[in-house]
Amino acid sequence: MDPSELKKIQIAVDGYSACGKSTLAKGLAGRLGYIHIDSGAMYRAVTLFAIQENIIADGKINKNLLIRKLPEISIKFRLDNDNNPITYLNEVNVEDKIREIEVSDFVSEISAIPEVRHKMVAIQQKMGENKGIVMDGRDIGTVVFPDAELKIFLIADINVRTQRRYNELKSKGYDVDFEVVKENLMQRDKFDMSRSESPLRQADDAMVFDNSDITKEEQLEKAYKLALSIIENEN
């Protein structure tokens, strides 16, 4: 049975920073013939906009100015030749720039601004209207798609997560320090969990996957089987 020809579902993948949410979401979407949206990329694009427009200066964010300029921000995803979604900020490809540490340092604070969240959530809900979507983030199962048929909440040991993010940044040629990467992840988790507007938390009906000791492939297989059984039940 080809899942892309059956009635489609929404899949939410949430969890802490660098738990492999995007890797799982992308793999799952690929196997199901669904769209994959990395919602973190959208908050990263807003953060990059704020840096480029000098809305962030001397380590401080001018929140009122950012809120006023929100209508100037357009974020889109376009598929590259390998079917990977590439993030565009105001029609410019920013896929690499949004992963830089300067963006990572401010993205949690930017994503805690309610006006920013309202704009992003509205775009995300529109993208998921027709289902057939796997979206990863922090509030997908709780706020963006509260009725998602499958919700996965990923967890992994902090050192495992740091090593993965460190390797990823190194492989892209960034000169990073393990402890700095770890500190950034811990800070962001703390911030993401404690903000008042849609904080990171596990949805009551989410399935928890701890991937500290399993491979990406094993995790994908487990999630795919789970998704298939739900899809079959829905059809």
How far, in Å, CA of 81 to CA of 88, rounded? 15
Is residue 39 at the binding interface for ligand DC, with CB under 6 A as the rule? yes
Is residue 142 at the binding interface for ligand DC, with CB under 6 A as the rule? no
Closer to ligand DC by CB, 3 or 22: give it. 22
Q: How far apart are the first and last CA of the chain?
A: 11
Closer to ligand DC by CB, 139 or 149: give it. 139
Which of 62, 144, 143, 148 shows the shortest CA–CA distance to 109?
A: 62
C-beta of 114: minimal distance to ligand DC in Å?
11
Is residue 17 at the binding interface for ligand DC, with CB under 6 A as the rule? yes
User: Which 104-133 positions form the footprint of ligand DC (CB under 6 A)?
Assistant: 107-108, 111
Among 138, 161, 164, 182, binds ligand DC (CB under 6 A): 138
Is residue 192 at the binding interface for ligand DC, with CB under 6 A as the rule? yes
Which of 168, 162, 176 shows the shortest CA–CA distance to 212?
A: 162
Closer to ligand DC by CB, 107 or 181: give it. 107
Write phi, then psi, for 205 (nearest 5 degrees).
-100, 20
Which of 18, 28, 74, 58 shows the shortest CA–CA distance to 228?
A: 28
Which stretch, 2-10, 27-35, 39-47, 227-235, contacts ligand DC (CB under 6 A)? 39-47
Tokens of 218: 């094993």
Q: What sign for the dihedral angle of Cα 47, 53, 55, 56?
A: positive
Is residue 164 at the binding interface for ligand DC, with CB under 6 A as the rule? no
C-alpha R_g of the chain: 17
Closer to ligand DC by CB, 138 or 164: give it. 138
Is residue 188 at the binding interface for ligand DC, with CB under 6 A as the rule? yes
Write phi, then psi, for 19 (nearest 5 degrees).
-95, 0
Which stretch, 52-60, 103-111, 126-134, 208-216, contacts ligand DC (CB under 6 A)? 103-111
Is residue 153 at the binding interface for ligand DC, with CB under 6 A as the rule? no
Which of 197, 163, 157, 187 shows the shortest CA–CA distance to 177?
A: 163
Binding positions for ligand DC, rule: CB under 6 A? 17, 39-40, 43-44, 107-108, 111, 137-140, 188, 192
